[in-house]
Chain A
Amino acid sequence: MPKLGHDPQLTRNGELQHLLTLDGLPKAILEQILDIAEPFTEVAEREVKKLPMLRGKSVFNVFFENSTRTRTTFEIAAKRLSADVINLNVATSSTTKGETLLDTVDNLCAMGADMFVVRHASSGAPYLMAEHLHATNRDHISVVNAGDGRHAHPTQGLLDMYTIRHYKKDFTNLVVAVVGDVLHSRVARSEIAALTTLGVPEVRVIGPKTLLPTGVERMGVRVFHDMNEGLKGVDVVMMLRLQNERMQGALLPSSQEYFKVWGLTPEKLALAKPDAIVLHPGPMNRGVEIDSAVADGQHAVILPQVTFGIAVRMAVMSMLAGG
Chain B
Amino acid sequence: MKIHIQNGRLVDPANKIDAQRDVFIADGKVVGVGSAPADFNADRIIDASGLVVAPGLIDLAARLREPGFEYRATLESEMEAAMAGGVTSLACPPDTDPPLDEPGLVEMLCFRALSLNCAHVYPIGALTVGLKGESITEMAELIEAGCVAFSQANTPLVDTQVLLRAMQYAATFGFRVWLQPTDPFLGKGGMAHDGEVASRLGLTGIPVETETVALATHLKLAQATGAKLHVTRLSSAAGLALIDQARADGLDVSCDVAAHYLHLCDMDIGYFSPLCHMDPPLRGQRDREALRAGLADGRINAVCSDHTPVDDDAKQMPFGESEVGATGLELLLPLTLKWAHESKVPLMQALARVTSDAAGIMGITKGGHLGVGARADVCVFDAAAERLVTRASLKSQGKNTPFLGISLPGVVRYTLVEGRVMFENEAR
Interface residues, chain A, CB within 8 Å of chain B?
1-5, 7-8, 23, 100-102, 120, 122-125, 127-128, 131-132, 148-152, 186, 189, 213-216, 218-219
A122/B320 contact (C-beta < 8 A), A1-B263, A2-B264, A2-B275 known = yes
Type the 1/0 row for B384-408, where 1 means its CB is closer than 8 Å to any CB of A: 0000000000000000001111100
Partner of A127, one of B205, B271, B275, B320: B271
In the assembled complex, the Cα of A213 lies from the Cα of B203 at a distance in Å of: 10
Q: Within 8 Å CB of A132, what residues of B? A: 316
Q: Within 8 Å CB of B321, what residues of A? A: 122
In the assembled complex, the Cα of A102 lies from the Cα of B196 at a distance in Å of: 29
Partner of A2, one of B195, B201, B316, B406: B406
What distance in Å separates the Cβ of B314 from its nearest Cβ neighbour in chain A? 10
Q: Within 8 Å CB of B194, what residues of A? A: 214
- Say yes or no: B273 contacts A2, CB within 8 Å: yes
Q: Which secondary structure dominates where chain A touches chain B?
A: loop
What distance in Å separates the Cβ of B424 from its nearest Cβ neighbour in chain A? 30
- Say yes or no: B319 contacts A122, CB within 8 Å: yes
The interface on chain B, measured as residues whose beta carbon lies within 8 A of the other chain's beta carbons, has a size of 35
Type the 1/0 row for B189-206, where 1 means its CB is closer than 8 Å to any CB of A: 001001110111111110
Q: Which of B294-334 contact A (CB under 8 A)?
A: 313, 316-321
Type the 1/0 row for B233-277, where 1 means its CB is closer than 8 Å to any CB of A: 000000000000000000000000000000110001011111110
- Say yes or no: B200 contacts A219, CB within 8 Å: yes
- Say yes or no: A1 contacts B320, CB within 8 Å: no
- Say yes or no: B318 contacts A214, CB within 8 Å: no
What distance in Å separates the Cβ of A126 from its nearest Cβ neighbour in chain B? 9
In the assembled complex, the Cα of A8 lies from the Cα of B203 at a distance in Å of: 19
What distance in Å separates the Cβ of A149 from its nearest Cβ neighbour in chain B? 5
- Say yes or no: A189 contacts B202, CB within 8 Å: yes
Q: Within 8 Å CB of A123, what residues of B? A: 191, 201-203, 272, 318-320
Q: Within 8 Å CB of A131, what residues of B? A: 271
- Say yes or no: A4 contacts B199, CB within 8 Å: no
Q: Within 8 Å CB of B313, what residues of A? A: 100
Partner of B318, one of A1, A23, A101, A186: A101
Partner of B202, one of A4, A128, A186: A186
Q: Within 8 Å CB of A127, what residues of B? A: 271-272
What distance in Å separates the Cβ of B324 from its nearest Cβ neighbour in chain A? 15
What distance in Å separates the Cβ of B394 from its nearest Cβ neighbour in chain A? 15
Q: Within 8 Å CB of A150, what residues of B? A: 202-204
- Name the residue on B nearest A9 (C-beta): B271
- Say yes or no: A4 contacts B318, CB within 8 Å: no
Type the 1/0 row for B179-217, where 1 means its CB is closer than 8 Å to any CB of A: 000000000000100111011111111010000000000
- Say yes or no: A100 contacts B317, CB within 8 Å: yes
New contact pairs (15) apart from A5-B271, A124-B318, A128-B318, CB-CB < 8 Å: A1-B402, A2-B402, A3-B405, A4-B271, A23-B200, A123-B201, A123-B319, A123-B320, A124-B319, A131-B271, A149-B203, A149-B320, A150-B203, A189-B202, A214-B195
